[in-house]
Structure 1
Amino acid sequence: MSVDAVGKDRSTNSESDEHGWDVDPEDESGAAVVAAVGRQLKAWREASGMRAAEFGALIGYGEDLVYKVEGGRRIPRPEYLDRSDDVMGANGKIAVMKQDLAVVRYPKKVRDLAKMEALAVEMAVYAEHGIHGLLQTEGHARALLETRQPSYSRDEVERGVAARLARRSIFDRTRAPALSFVLEEAALRRPIGGRMEWRRQLERLLAIAQLRNVSLQIMPLNCETHPGLDGGIEVLKFGDGTAVGRSWGAFSGRPVTDPKQLRILELRYGMIRAQALTPAESLAFIKQVLGET
């Protein structure tokens, strides 16, 4: 997001709030990191002899936002730290704090999920409706978040989109995990975000389906019944032999680690895969749908 010209209106809450993320008061570890960064920024500013208003004008932000950041009530965007570093001549000592904030700007439940995905050596997903978050384009994710009810604020939408995009790093890992996805045909035929975004989403699915470590299958609408109709399934396996799974149609939707419960989820997922189109058939099917758009 480009930064507006500095002016009096810059310090209003409605505008300054566009340039950062709210701190989740229930996320104690994340709030502690934000507070620590805020204290360091305040110490640097005071050591330079600048008032908050003067400093804000120099970096292109309002006084109100400066106080929120320094008070640990607002997570600054990366460019805030870059400009602060330049103005105070910190030679990278402030900019480096971007690494501390890069993770905590996302909701804790998303961070926890991303951490597990980063450690997984195998991942199996059946999405009972829609495109799974790891497979979504930016525009598709934004369209979904913007239609949530009760409606999300702009901050919540942008934060949610950024979190989903960050999770896509699972495809870039040096030791690529084995990833298996089964999507419903209906998900491919709903033009979420409009026709152009629909095409971009199908093109992304095509690209992912051709990765060597990915198996992407489509469950056709003409399959009358299968074991996943009660809810989606996700199973993640780790290098130490442990695993965690979850299904909205089993065990009250809570995460499970018990081997017996995991076997039930794996049994259901195996049957779902057997009833879906093969990976090769699915690739051809996606191409067909794309050609029809």
Structure 2
Amino acid sequence: MHPRKRQRKNASAMKLVGALVARFREDAGFTQRELAERICAGEETVASVEQGRRPLKPDLARLLDRLLDTKHALETAVDNMPEIDLIPAWAEQYMDLERDAIALSWFENQVLPGLLQTEGYARAVFRTDVPALRAEEIEQRVAARLARQDILRRAEPATASFIVSEAVLVDRLGGDGVHAGTLRHLRSCADLPGIALQVMPLGRQTHAGLSGPFIVLESPDHQHLGYAETQRGSQLISHPDEVSILERKYAMLRTQALNSEETKGLLDRLLGEQ
């Protein structure tokens, strides 16, 4: 089954569970704020679950079943979510979290972060996908990726830190013209308010990111979450201990990478060689 169809199916399942939460909450006489206070969570968390934008976690489902006297209805619904749909849903859920995030920390060692890609670079990424995508789907994905970048240019932009391997800058994905445009775009992004861009240089003897790329974000209600992708799936990480490990890795990466000014200098040199 095509991944995009799995996302739509799972999104519908998440919305169904969210609608159940909203109905049970209303029947119990709680507002979203009142329920959030009872479960020690943010009001935005309750709203996101009810709208189907955030998956209902099993432990929270059990808590809500007890609080709302739903006779294990929510726990049963969560336990029976289609397992084949869960992984694509995490990617879709991440997009919603990214859109609302107040802070992002993003490490990449193979490709530019989606929020920093130019149109030409994004198109080159999707054109090299295996199996090959249809031309129409490539253009749809490019448009969706570019639309995500509004987070960096909104009235109150997110605080964003990016660490990118120097190998990504050396690769000429899409050809010389795309490569030159990408370097100019990165140099421009490096001067945007709230953005810190750092390059992890080649030839290091120590490296805290050898396990692969990852993202840590902070939500408006100050929840810290991690996100990581693999070849055939993705994972949204919410357990505080696991998020803490990613945050410590990222802190170490920042000390190992070139600082922001050194990174700008590197980009200037690479642009001068074009």
TM over 0.5: yes
Quick check: 125-134 or 111-120, which moved more? Answer: 111-120
State the one-letter code of the partner of 1:230.
S
Residues of 2 paired with 1:263 and 1:271: CA distance?
12
For residues 269 and 256 of structure 1, what CA distance do their matches in structure 2 show?
A: 15
2:173 is aligned to 192
Corresponding residue of 2:17: none
Residue 103 (structure 1) aligns with: none
Mapped partners of 2:183, 2:90: distance in 1:
28
1:291 counterpart residue number = 272
- Map of 1:142 onto structure 2: 123
Aligned counterpart, 2:164: 183
CA-based RMSD of the aligned residues comes to: 2.6
2: distance between equivalents of 1:176 and 1:134?
13
Contact 1:230 1:248 in 2 (8 A): no
CA contact (8 A) 1:233 1:247 kept: yes
Check 1:109–1:169 CA distance in 2 against 1; reply closer, same or farther (3 A cut). farther
Number of aligned residues: 196
Cα contact 1:216–1:282 (8 A) shared by 2 = yes
- Report the AA paired with residue 242 of structure 1: Q
**CA spacing shift, 1:110–1:157, aligned 2, 3 Å:** farther
Query: SS at 2:227's partner residue?
Result: strand
Write the letter of the residue equivalent to 1:188.
L
Structure 1 position 248, deviation (Å): 5.5
3-state SS in 2 of match to 1:118: helix
Rounded to whole Å, the distance in 2 between the matches of 1:291 and 1:148 is 31
Aligned to 2:211: 230
- Does the alignment pair 1:212 with 2:196? no
Deviation at 1:30, TM superposition (A): 7.7
Structure 1 unaligned regions, length at least 5: 1-22, 32-106
CA contact (8 A) 1:131 1:187 kept: yes
Secondary structure of the residue aligned to 1:235 is strand
Q: Is the Cα–Cα contact under 8 Å of residues 125 and 182 in structure 1 kept in the other structure?
A: yes
Contact 2:90 2:234 in 1 (8 A): no
Moved more, 151-160 or 239-248: 239-248
Larger radius of gyration between Structure 1 and Structure 2: 1
Aligned equivalents of 1:289, 1:26: Cα separation in 2:
40
Identity of aligned residues (%): 34
Match of 2:140 in 1: 159
1:227 and 1:272 in contact (8 A); partners too = yes
Matched position secondary structure for 1:255: strand
Partner of 2:96: 115
User: Contact 2:110–2:168 (CA<8 Å) still a contact in 1?
Assistant: yes
Q: How is 1:72-91 mapped onto 2 (pairs within 5 angstroms)?
A: none
The change in CA–CA distance for 1:247 and 1:114 in structure 2 (over 3 A counts) is closer
Superposed CA deviations along residues 176-234 of structure 1, whole A, max 9, x for unmatched, are 11100000001011111111111110011001110120000000002133110110120
Instruction: Tell me if 1:128 matches 2:77.
Output: no
Q: Of the two structures, which has the highest relative contact order with CA contacts closer than 8 Å and spacing of 6 or more? A: 2
Q: What letter is aligned with 1:173?
A: R
2:5 counterpart SS class: coil
Residue 245 of structure 2 is aligned with which of 264, 271, 275? 264
CA contact 1:246–1:253 (8 Å) conserved in 2:
yes
Deviation at 1:113, TM superposition (A): 3.0
Q: Is the 8 A contact 2:94 2:236 kept in 1?
A: no
Superposition deviation, residue 29 in structure 1: 8.5
- Contact 1:209–1:216 (Cα < 8 Å) also in 2: yes
Deviation at 1:108, TM superposition (A): 6.8
Change (3 A) 1:25 1:238: closer
